Structure 1
Amino acid sequence: MDYLDVNRANWNARVPIHIASDFYDVEGFKAGKIVIRSFERDEVGDVSGRSLVHLQCHFGLDTLSWARLGAEVTGLDFSEAAIEQARGIAAECGIPARFVTADVYDAVEALGGATYDIVYTGIGALVWLPDLTRWARTVARLLKPGGFLYLAELHPYADILDDETGTTVTHDYFEKGPHVWEYPHTYTGSEVLEHQTSVQFQHGLGEVVSAVTAAGLRVEFLHEHDHTFFRRFAGLVASEGIYRFPEGAPRIPLVYSLRASA
């Protein structure tokens, strides 16, 4: 099984469903909404006039949000359908942006050897990549001297817990995969996908940090957060757009963020 072809078909099928979903609220974005989370804005800092490339950008709402905050943005994704939508949204909103269709491992060549002040990778990206060492080397080649990687990602600890309550360890933290999944739906709703197979890879926190440092980047911080952005487990409680375990319950890390400089 070619994981890349399988996953590309799966994500191309997700695009029209995601575009129409309340989860992404594309109409709200077109009306001026910025979808970057507040902790990301705080940790990245002022992006005015800085060049930023967003790897695995889907249809670009995060990318274009960074543009609204002042960055000069480029988005890259392997899904032709997603990039087509990203370009359309950018044009409709009058936001200057470049969007390129390519696999993340081919980013250096696909972007013509350009380098950037910031390489940004958002929630839910790394699980689609089999080789983090190669990914981190790609990131390092995309950075200008003094630039930095900023990664916000779902915490791998949450992936070993039972899918219903999130209170019992049921999965192997060190089982990297590949894991082949058959899901009729995507995470935004009940519409049935045309291509339902996906291939994913689990990466522990140590693997992420080791790959980044081996690529010659200096880790500035690794922060763990006790909240996420969807109801990952049934017991999570929503408050102001984020989800946590209820007050009094033991807290666990649900998201982490990492910044590493060239």
Structure 2
Amino acid sequence: MGDLAGRWRELNKAYWDERVPIHLGAAFYDMEGFRARPDSLKDFETAEVGDVRGKRLIHLQCHFGRDTLSWAVRGAQVTGLDFSPPAIKAASQLATELGIDARFLTADVYDAVSAVEGETFDIVYVSFGALNWLPDISRWASVIAELLAPTGHLYLAEFHPFSFVLDDETGSTVTHDYFDEGPEASGGPGTYADEAATTEGNESVEWRHSLSTVVSAIAGAGLRIQFLHEHDYTFYLQRRSLERHDGDIYRHSEGAPRIPLTYSIRAEKA
């Protein structure tokens, strides 16, 4: 694992570069539906972030920009940043195709401050499946603090780390150490958006950061946490024990003990 961990950026970049075109064509992302109605945001996200009209928003680890463009449609002045050139190229092309004003930059999240040349933002937005690809959450939080304008805020929506310690079949038995934060080898052929896809770059490296690690890093960077909300639902078949409800909402079966599957944090720059 030591060799893989030392190559985390190289491996993860190759992993994601290859999967961009797969994701663009996958039913999971429903790009036809997005083109007809460019809004991929979750209801609780828009409610918790609030009115973004006229505000400068940067979306870190934006993939090919669906959520970024969704904020632009709601009136934000958006910048999307991702380390994958194919993802940023696809995002820029999508913005042009849809006639949405947006800026997209290719850069590692840890280099975001230099990538935007010191510009600051009213909102730093980070969403599902982002933090597990980063080895150093304290450094990540420090970058966010530098990106925020005075009175600006971070909004983070993520998969809850506790949900990954349970068994896949029943979701009721603890099978993984919650406090083992990695690194761990991950990947494999295909992708969550298309498990049958043929892929070559199948090695990646992830970290499972505990909730306390994330909260402490944000506070340690000098941001004041306004809320931490835990949610008993998620947005894809994260575990086989989950059942689909309305739309793309997944929960454990009726009568089963509820556990947190996702969470959201808002923190402001004092």
* TM-score bin (small chain): over 0.9
Paired residue total: 262
Q: Secondary structure at the match of 1:227?
A: coil
Question: What does 1:32-43 align with in structure 2 at a 5 Å threshold?
Answer: 32-43=37-48
Matched, 1:180 2:180: no
Choose the corresponding residue for 2:242, options 236, 239, 252: 236
Q: Is the 8 Å Cα contact of residues 56 and 78 (structure 2) preserved in structure 1?
A: yes
SS of match in other structure, 2:123: strand
1:257 lines up with 2:264 in the alignment:
yes
Q: Which stretches in structure 1 are left out of the alignment for 5+ residues? A: none
Instruction: Quote the sequence identity (%).
Output: 56
Q: Is the 8 A contact 2:155 2:266 kept in 1?
A: yes
Partners in 1 of 2:228 and 2:202 — Cα distance? 34
Give the aligned residue type for 1:49: G
1:129 aligns with 2:141: no
Runs of at least 4 residues of structure 1 off by over 6 A? none
Aligned equivalent of 1:74: 79
2:158 maps to amino acid: E
CA deviation string 1:113-132 (max 9, x = no partner) = 11000000000000000000
Deviation, 1:165, is: 2.3
- Report how far residue 166 of structure 1 moved: 1.5
Task: Tell me which amino acid in the other structure corresponds to 2:258.
Answer: R
Structure 2 distance, partners of 1:43, 1:237, is: 25
| 104-113 vs 28-37, which moves further | 28-37
Please list every run of 5 or more consecutive structure 2 residues that lacks an aligned counterpart in the other structure: 1-5
Alignment of 1:247 onto 2:254: yes
1:23-34 equivalences under 5 Å are 23-34=28-39
1:182-238 deviation digits (Å, cap 9, x = unpaired): 411110111122200010011000000000000000000000000000111222121
Q: Which amino acid aligns with 1:250?
A: P
Q: Which amino acid aligns with 1:45?
A: G
Matches within 5 A, 1:1-262: 1-189=6-194, 190-240=196-246, 241-262=248-269
Separation in 2 of the partners of 1:75 and 1:3?
22
- Distance of 1:7 and 1:181 partners within structure 2: 10
TM-score (norm: length of structure 2): 0.95
| Separation (CA, whole Å) in 2 of partners of 1:235 and 1:158 | 11
Q: How many angstroms does 1:29 deviate by?
A: 1.0
Q: Tell me which moved more, 155-164 or 199-208.
A: 155-164
Please give the root-mean-square deviation of Cα atoms over the aligned residues, in Å.
Answer: 0.8
Q: 1:182 to 1:46 in 2, by over 3 A?
A: closer
Question: What TM-score do the two structures reach when normalised by structure 1?
Answer: 0.98
In terms of mean alpha carbon deviation, does 26-35 or 168-177 score higher? 26-35
Q: How big is the shift at 1:136? A: 0.1
In 2, Cα distance between equivalents of 1:85 and 1:3: 23
